A and B are shown apart, each in its own frame.
Chain A
Amino acid sequence: MSKRKAPSGARQSQASTSDKLKSLWQSHLAIALQSIRKLRSEPAASAMTIAVIGIALLLPTTLFVAMNNLQILSAGVSESSRITIYLDETLPEAQGRSLSEQLLSRSDISAGEYISPAQAAEEFREFSGLGDVLDALEENPLPAAIVLTPRNVDADSGAALLNELNGLPGVESAQLDLEWIARLQRFLELAQRMSTALTLVLSLAVLFVVGNTIRLAIEGRRAEIVVVKLVGGTDSYVARPFLYTGFWYGLGGGLLAWLLLALIMRALSGPLAALLSLYDNQHSMHGLSVLQGLLLLSGSAVLGWLGAWISVRQHLSAIEPR
């Protein structure tokens, strides 16, 4: 001050543009760190907010992962679904076998087996325990059959395949447990919708939680806001620390959700593997991939920022120096 001679303070007191940009970056960094320090200075309150956000995010994330696993599992199941073709009784065995060979060479069939009437009777005797009934009959009533394992079948392509097989000469009827696959698919679709709806609702919850927390923070710093506005702080300058706080809340909540999910997966993986092994299934659980995890984090951080922004817009303009 003492060095000042001329009264024309205006020109002297303006910083240059590049200096201002550098300083803007510095001030963003400082405010970002400052808002973390503020959060750490009230650990209990911050932890509570982050916990609420984390749990709210955990629900849709868990659903997402469960759906993911179910889809992979169901793909495996439909892979193992089988088509049984019952052949015309009049079709000679040699022709039946050659039909089986033909079908096997198709690209949408991964495995196939011809079962003669005698084999069928044998299996029936073995698995049904009703061999006596078969013995009581004069001749073997069971038709020859071909059992096929289709490749990548869903409800629609399965129906088309079945239609085609039914039209083949020498085929009495072809059956596929399509209804079961269709049901599973409908169920998965429904679950997907539910998880989308839940994600939306819980994202709203995160917005409100952050918004309300920021509202309280604004109330708590009312005096500071007034002073800052009095000495020439713009609205965006005043809003900045709150936006950063919201950002950190969201990011913290996202991290917590990821962590909790990993813990849940750990706890479930043992029993689930045991359960699946009963069904001869080698499925291993998939958690969030790194990319999906990063998406979760960025999504939650954006939600936190947005919640803060809404709150700031509503409450900050009401605080003016009087």
Chain B
Amino acid sequence: MIRFDNVSKRYPGGHQALSQVSFELGEGEMAFLTGRSGAGKSTLLKLIMLMEKASQGEIVVNGKNLARMPREQIPFYRRRIGVVFQDHQLLFDRTVFDNVALPLQIEGYPKHEADRRVRAALDKVGLLKQEKMNPMALSGGEQQRIGIARAVVNRPQILLADEPTGNLDPELAAEIMHLLEQFNQVGVSMLIASHDLSLITRLSHRILTLHNGQLINDATYRVPSAATHDARTDRGTEAST
């Protein structure tokens, strides 16, 4: 679904955000992207969203080479990808319902169809009762769930999340992660950037670790039911620590 082939990103001014990153995320796969602040997690997601272009290497998403995508195609490409942000990026001049409906309005869904989908998405994140409220009146966890509802309302094939639990306490964070897992279970490919290692190692998913822009580890953790830390399988990338 997502393939990075020796991708590097150097920002104007010389900052090397990513160097020679290669990995592949299969269809329906869920992976975490971790590393310290500044390791390149956000840059990697931005490259997939075409908010930035790679300086070197090839990124192929759903069979499309991003380097060759014309500018006017970008909006249509983005409609197939749901994104969840740390700061939610909600609009406070409209209701919860209208926030979630935005991607459908943009794509031009008939109102009845859009309404149905928005309610389904809100139901899924447990906010159906709050649909008429302003997101400002809701808690951080609830706002994040609005953001998730908006990301999935269009039934994207890929869901990206940038520190979706960054501002939440551990309990809420776990709740959000479990919610995201449910979408993965219905087949959505997922890449979630998070530095919350204690949380993500408890979930049995693949973890990509970035350090100074390099992919230094790519491993899948098993749920530590047997409490054995060796229950991980290294995929072995070109990088090492």
Contacts and interface: CB of A to CB of B under 8 A. Distances in A.
Interface string A279-322: 00000000000000000000000000000000000000000111
A230 B188 contact: no
A267 interface: no
B56 to A, nearest CB: 21
Nearest to B90: A227
A231 B157 CA distance: 14
Nearest to A317: B71
Contacts, number: 102
B108 A231 contact: no
Nearest to A7: B187
Interface stretch (A20-28, A65-73, A85-93, A156-164): A20-28
B106 A228 contact: yes
Interface string B144-184: 00000010101111000000000000000000000000010
Interface in A217-264: 223-224, 226-235, 237
Given A229-B75, A230-B89, A23 B108 contact: yes
A231 B124 contact: no
A278 interface: no
Given A223-B91, A229-B75, A7 B103 contact: no
B89 A227 contact: yes
Nearest to B122: A1
Nearest to A226: B89
B120 A2 contact: yes
A12 B76 CA distance: 15
A1 B121 contact: yes
A6 B187 contact: yes
A4 B186 contact: yes
A26 B157 contact: no
A27 B108 contact: yes
17 contacts: A1-B120, A1-B155, A1-B186, A2-B123, A4-B186, A6-B187, A7-B187, A7-B188, A12-B155, A20-B108, A23-B108, A23-B111, A26-B110, A26-B111, A231-B79, A232-B78, A322-B51
Q: In the A-B complex, list the 3 residue pairs whose CB atoms are closest, starting with the nearest.
A: A7-B187, A232-B79, A9-B155
Interface of B: 27-28, 49, 51, 72, 75-80, 83, 89-91, 93, 102-103, 105-111, 113, 120-121, 123-124, 150, 152, 154-157, 183, 186-188
Given A23-B108, A231-B102, 10 more contacts: A2-B120, A2-B124, A7-B186, A9-B188, A15-B108, A23-B111, A26-B111, A229-B75, A231-B78, A233-B106
